[in-house]
Amino acid sequence: MTDYLKVVVGERNLLPHRDLLVSQLLSADIELSWHDRFDEDALSRDLVDADVYVGGRVTPAMARAGRGLRLIHVAGAGTDKVAFGELGADTQVANTFHHEDSIAEYIVAATVMLRRGLIGQDASLRQGVWASSVYQDGVAQPPTMRGAMVGYVGFGHIGRRTAQLLTALGARGCAVTGSGRVADAAGLDWHGDTGDLGRLMKESDIVVVSAPLTDATSGMIGSTDLAQLGPDGILVNVGRGPLVVERDLYEALRDRTIGGASLDVWYRYPMGGDHAEPAELPFAELPNVLMTPHTSGVTRDTFVRRVQDIADNIRRLAEGRTLQRIVWPVNR
């Protein structure tokens, strides 16, 4: 027996895959209501009689309007923008991954660019300056990834896939996680819990941050930790901006306490449209930062596979079958 379902889609990254989602749900009695931008009022009105919401941001007002929602499906891994405290008693929340290949590629590309000094070379050559030891005195020859120690703050899907790629380039690895456990220690010299963060920062040439943002992890990396990374060290943050203290990171980059950073996640995001300063402090003025707008996992490959997960769960709900990838309530 298949139930009729109303599904509200408020995830912009699914718009290019509208036909794919529709084709995946052709056999079900489902109404799809699409929103091409985030409008809290419009979404709240649409959620009043909805069964499913697909989107990463659920404000308290949206949650109250959608008290009858049976499923909220985040089109990604992070659920930190869901107002769990306002959800209805029968609402379940699911997420989906499939971003590890895309994000690992980003991390490898960003790490090589920073370690080889490619950002600075690009800026110099645009001014006619050949910033190479071949032409300029005092310019050091940069290292490759061979023998580099990569420290992973968080070692889930992203960390494991990144370690696979960087190990192929000759890099070593170490990791800290909340529990001190890892599912697969391949590519790691050692791993421990967050009490070993200081050791990881001190021993690493590159630190990759991909831990989830929680009350316990917010601000977990600050000035003392960054100082231990050192003036040649590189930080890559693909987790969430507030995992690293904003002012401490800015000052460490400005003062060359660390060598550089690739920042794909930020402290501020657009509330509508495509414009917003990503932080209170002027990271854009720093020459040793690669800035990207939370795009490390945004590829066609990622979202095609996410659409398949989302469609699978919607079909399961319509057919009364057990849902997959449920993250809330945690006991389901």
Mean pLDDT of 192-198: 98
Mean pLDDT of 22-26: 91
- Tokens of residue 134, six digits: 């071949």
- With a cut of 60, say whether residue 58 has pLDDT above it: yes
Q: Where are the alpha helices (DSSP H) in the chain?
A: 18-24, 40-47, 60-65, 100-115, 118-125, 157-168, 197-203, 223-229, 246-254, 300-318
The answer to whether the beta carbons of residues 9 and 323 sit under 8 Å apart is no
Give the chain's mean pLDDT.
Answer: 96
Helical axes 300-318 vs 100-115, angle rounded to 10°: 160
1 band by pLDDT with thresholds 50, 70 and 90: low
330 band by pLDDT with thresholds 50, 70 and 90: confident
pLDDT number for residue 332: 54
Angle at CA of residue 18, ends 14 and 21, nearest 5°? 90
Mean pLDDT of 224-231: 98
Amino acid 117 reads: G
pLDDT number for residue 272: 80
Return d(Cα 36, Cα 306) in angstroms, integer: 18
| Range name among 20-29, 90-99, 198-207, 258-267 with the lowest pLDDT average | 20-29
Query: pLDDT, tens digit, for every residue of 117-164?
Result: 999 999 999 999 999 999 999 999 999 999 999 999 999 999 999 999
- Tokens of residue 20, six digits: 């794919």
CB-based burial label for 291 (10 Å; 0-12, 13-18, 19+): middle
| Range name among 53-57, 129-133, 196-200, 269-273 with the lowest pLDDT average | 269-273
172-177 and 190-193 strand pairing: parallel
CB-based burial label for 20 (10 Å; 0-12, 13-18, 19+): middle
178 band by pLDDT with thresholds 50, 70 and 90: very high
- With a cut of 90, say whether residue 210 has pLDDT above it: yes
3-state secondary structure of 63: helix
Query: pLDDT, tens digit, for every residue of 276-321?
Result: 999 999 999 999 999 999 999 999 999 999 999 999 999 999 999 9
Helical axes 100-115 vs 157-168, angle rounded to 10°: 50
- Using a pLDDT cut of 90, give the percent of the chain over it: 95
pLDDT number for residue 53: 98
State the residue for tokens 């945004």.
298
Return d(Cα 69, Cα 314) in angstroms, integer: 12
Domains of the chain in sequence order: 5-98+300-328 (3.40.50.720), 100-291 (3.40.50.720)
pTM score of the predicted model: 0.93
pLDDT number for residue 225: 98
- With a cut of 90, say whether residue 273 has pLDDT above it: no
Return d(Cα 175, Cα 173) in angstroms, integer: 7
pLDDT number for residue 331: 65
3-state helix, strand, coil in the chain (%, to 5): 35, 15, 50
DSSP 58: B
Give just the sign of the alpha carbon dihedral 243, 248, 254, 255. Answer: negative
pLDDT number for residue 150: 98
Return d(Cα 200, Cα 180) in angstroms, integer: 13
What single string gives the DSSP state of each residue in 141-175? PPP-STT-EEEEES-SHHHHHHHHHHHHTT-EEEE
Mean pLDDT of 248-259: 98
2 band by pLDDT with thresholds 50, 70 and 90: low
Mean pLDDT of 253-267: 98
Return d(Cα 267, Cα 282) in angstroms, integer: 12
